[in-house]
Amino acid sequence: MAVIQVERKPLTFAERTYVPQIIAGLVTTWKHLVRRKDTLQYPEQRPAIPPGYRGVPTLVRDPNGREKCVSCQLCEFVCPPKAIRITPGEIPLDAPHAHVERAPQAFDIDMLRCIYCGMCQEVCPEEAIFLQQQYSMSGYTREEFVNNKARLYELGGTLPDQHFKWDKKKSAEERGNEH
Amino acid sequence: MNVVESMPPPPKPDLITVNIDGRDVAVPKGTNAIEAARLVGVDVPFYCYHPKLSVVGNCRMCLIEIGMPAVDPATKAPIMDPATGKQRINWIPRPQIGCATNASPGLHIRTNTPQIKDCREGVMEFLLINHPLDCPICDQAGECKLQEQATGYGRGYSRFIEQKVVKPKRTQLGPRVTLDDERCILCSRCIRFCKEIARDDVLGFIDRGSYSTLTCYPGKKLTNNYSLNTVDICPVGALTSTDFRFKMRVWFLKQTNSIDTESSVGANTVVWSREGIIYRITPRRNDEVNDTWMSDSGRELYKQVRSSDRLTAIRVNGIDSSLDVAVQAAAELIRASAGAVAVVGSGRSSVEEQFLTHKLAKLLQAPAGIVSRVGEGDGILISADRNPNVRGALVTGLIQGLPQPKLERLAAGIDAGTIRTVVAINEDLVAAGLTPAQLAKVAIVYLGTHVQPTTAAARVVIPTLTVFEKSGTFVNQQFRLQKFAKAVPGPAGASDDLVALSRLLAALGGGAIPSEINALWSLMAEEVPALKTIAFGRVPATGLQLDPAPWAGLPYVEGETLHYKPAP
């Protein structure tokens, strides 16, 4: 390899005084003093969550309080890191929503495995699982990071339902054979 | 003795040529058009057709176009098509059902024309009119013909805006079958099965048109021991198994080939498991043994795997121990009473285990036998001999004649003091006719799966595996060698029967005998004349017919069953 000698440019007078550089630096500092702040006083202050944000997956109820999940296990099947584990069960005949027939006995989502991809929400045929705005999980043990069914409903709450598919089905049943 | 691949060679079928979607194929005369199309890889969708049931042709899904080569009515001379130079085909202008079309010479079939596509879309649309949107709660999802064929042949969207007919849901047809009438597409497979195979005519349709409903005849229930086959053949989720209902999605389940152990019929089965837990057992098609059926009682056998009375601890004199210690303790017991040892094998053990049991008995020069288990045969798929593998004990030489129901000679030997140690392999000696007092007189080495009176009396207990937890072979009533595979791992504490037996043999000075099944089979092929030339890995999934001639004269207890006729 040939060695190329590069000649260093001599500094100008202004550069030698170092004053313009100090002023330019201070301008940046002063700008930040008066600008709107980017940082938040977390956790007292929380950022605004944009729509479509994918937070912690949760289970939701419909406005009538019916648990929407029917434990079809499609989310368990589609989940890439296998974070979801469902034990399906049957709704007893005397329950108010007996006509739905099927509901999860147990529903666990391991948040140490979850990658927040939203595939479960996308695949759900009953619109029962949603990645909502909760984003921070904390705990002292691995077990605390496994959200069970009760916790998932607590996180999920109630979402408006557009379809009321099962309610329509029940009312059709009550009216009898109708064309 | 030679192994015959298939019993007598079937008479050569009368082959004729038919043309399916432009391809000529030779099929036996009278072959159903659906089966003929399958031979050339052409899929003709259907719901009501079933290869083992009569043809009714009521789903209309298998519509095809058929035609015959044109001949002059007067002279019978072929009419040629000047455009192609071949014989002209007279196509029937309207579609015909494939299931009721039998192959005849020169038959032409088209399954890929626009008319057929329209027909299939139309049939699918009508079938889906009143079909509920139950897929998320339906057990059939994943193995549903309606789902598959709506994807393959449906129009893709619904034009139906009216309300669907409401029918009874969650109805109990019998103790094991749940019916959802809304999902029923009225194919009548279940009705035909009950009438033709189970010979228990209980199902039928009531009402007309879209109100047609499947139900039991008044005062009757679907209680027969073959009722769950209707669940298997139901192309939709109308009939579901009450036991398997909502337990697990089928797409999670691993399928393992197995054999039904409840009788010497040896129905071929599939064990469906996930993560070491068995969820259901279904039949596997074997036209020589069980067609596509199996009994309900055979489907419940998986419950023994996780039952609470499973043996899970190796015990020596009532103290938890390890396999090495238990084998040494057993060997000492046996050596201490040399010449006064008896071996009780089992007709429920696999051929390999019976081979090792026979080797053990030979090494100890001990009398060996198995316990017979005779019930009533039902003439379909449960025979009178409730041991799955008595023929295996004959083949391996463990027994010379058929077993007795009670171990009278053993009992006499114990009473006379000539038997002081008994090695019992998966057989309850109390059930086999020994009294607790007799058990107390002898030292018992027990290898088995479940807690029994014998295990309480045994000095050495080595827990072993059930049929679902190990691989091996059985020989059924037709002398058909059929293999089963390990579906789930055994419980902690249980040892493989072959490992336990080969360790015991080694500890008694019988030399090193492989416990790995393929290696063991090469030894068996050398030593057992009937199994010469057979390797475990090459036994086909549907079994291998052995030559029954050496044991032809024995008074077998089985009566006639589906594919078995007792020798006159």
Domains present along chain B, CATH in parentheses? 15-112 (3.10.20.740), 133-247 (3.30.70.20), 315-556 (3.40.50.740)
- Parse chain A into domains and list their residue ranges: 57-156
What pLDDT is recorded for position B568? 80
Residues of chain B contacting residue A100, judged by C-beta atoms under 8 Å apart: 137
User: Residue A179 is nearest to which of B141, B162, B249, comparing CB atoms?
Assistant: B162
B353 torsion bin: left (phi>0), alpha (psi -120 to 50), beta (else): alpha
- The span from the CA of B402 to the CA of A133, in Å, is 73
What pLDDT is recorded for position B12? 65
% of chain A exceeding 70 in pLDDT? 98
Chain A nearest-CA distance from B172, in A, is 13
Band of residue A179 on the pLDDT scale cut at 50, 70, 90? very low
In sequence order, the β-bridge partners of residue B109 are B20, B66
In sequence order, the β-bridge partners of residue B473 are B483
Residues of chain A contacting residue B249, judged by C-beta atoms under 8 Å apart: 72-73, 76-77, 88
Arithmetic mean of pLDDT, A11-28: 94
What pLDDT is recorded for position A177? 60
One digit per residue, pLDDT tens: chain B, 568 residues? 444 444 455 556 689 999 999 999 999 988 999 999 999 999 999 999 999 999 999 999 999 999 999 999 999 899 998 888 889 999 999 999 999 999 999 999 999 999 999 999 999 999 999 999 899 999 999 999 999 999 999 988 889 888 889 999 999 999 999 999 999 999 999 999 999 999 999 999 999 988 999 999 999 999 999 999 999 999 999 999 999 999 999 999 999 999 999 999 999 999 999 999 999 999 999 999 999 999 999 999 999 999 999 999 999 999 999 999 999 999 999 999 988 999 999 999 999 999 999 999 999 999 999 999 999 999 999 999 999 999 999 999 999 999 988 888 999 999 999 999 999 999 999 999 999 999 999 999 999 999 999 999 999 999 999 999 999 999 999 999 999 999 999 999 999 999 999 999 999 998 999 999 999 999 999 999 999 999 999 999 999 999 999 999 899 999 999 999 998 8
State which residue of chain B sits closest to A174, comparing Cα positions. Answer: B166
Q: Do the beta carbons of residue B297 and residue B224 sit within 8 Å?
A: no
What pLDDT is recorded for position B234? 97
Residues of chain B contacting residue A163, judged by C-beta atoms under 8 Å apart: none
- Tell me which residues of chain B, numbers 239 to 258, contact chain A at a CB-CB cutoff of 8 Å: 245-249, 251-252
Domain A57-156 has CATH 3.40.1410.10: no
What pLDDT is recorded for position A168? 85
Q: Do the beta carbons of residue A85 and residue A104 sit within 8 Å?
A: no
Report in angstroms the alpha-carbon separations of B48 from B52, B169, B177, B325: 11, 22, 20, 60
Arithmetic mean of pLDDT, A45-70: 93
Rounded to two decimals, the pTM is 0.90
For an interface test with A, the pick among B137, B138, B147 (most A C-beta atoms closer than 10 Å) comes out as B137
Tally A–B CB contacts below 8 A. Answer: 56
Residues of chain B contacting residue A88, judged by C-beta atoms under 8 Å apart: 246-249
3-state helix, strand, coil in chain B (%, to 5): 25, 20, 50
Beta strands B108-110 and B171-172 are unpaired
Interface contact B248-A172, CB threshold 8 A: no
Q: Do the beta carbons of residue A100 and residue A166 sit within 8 Å?
A: yes
Q: Which of B459, B435, B462 is nearest to B448 (CA)?
A: B462
> Between these two residues, A166 and B192, which has the higher pLDDT value?
B192
What pLDDT is recorded for position B2? 44
Chain B nearest-CA distance from A147, in A, is 21
Interface contact A177-B245, CB threshold 8 A: no
- The span from the CA of A147 to the CA of A83, in Å, is 10
Chain B nearest-CA distance from A37, in A, is 49
Beta strands B460-463 and B315-316 are antiparallel
- The span from the CA of B47 to the CA of B43, in Å, is 13
State which residue of chain B sits closest to A124, comparing Cα positions. Answer: B136
Chain A nearest-CA distance from B247, in A, is 6
Residues of chain A contacting residue B165, judged by C-beta atoms under 8 Å apart: 177-179
Interface contact A72-B252, CB threshold 8 A: no
Interface contact B166-A165, CB threshold 8 A: no
**For residues B432, B434, B440 and B441, what is the CA-based torsion angle, rounded to 10 degrees?**
-120
| Among A13-27, A152-166, B282-296, the least confident range | A152-166
What pLDDT is recorded for position B151? 93
Under DSSP, the state recorded for B131 is -
Residues of chain B contacting residue A125, judged by C-beta atoms under 8 Å apart: 135-136
For an interface test with B, the pick among A68, A69, A71, A73 (most B C-beta atoms closer than 10 Å) comes out as A73
| ipTM, interface predicted TM-score of the complex | 0.85
Chain A nearest-CA distance from B116, in A, is 30
Chain A nearest-CA distance from B136, in A, is 5
Query: B298-319 in b/e burial notation, b at 16+ Cβ within 10 A?
Result: bbebbebbeeeebbeebbbeee
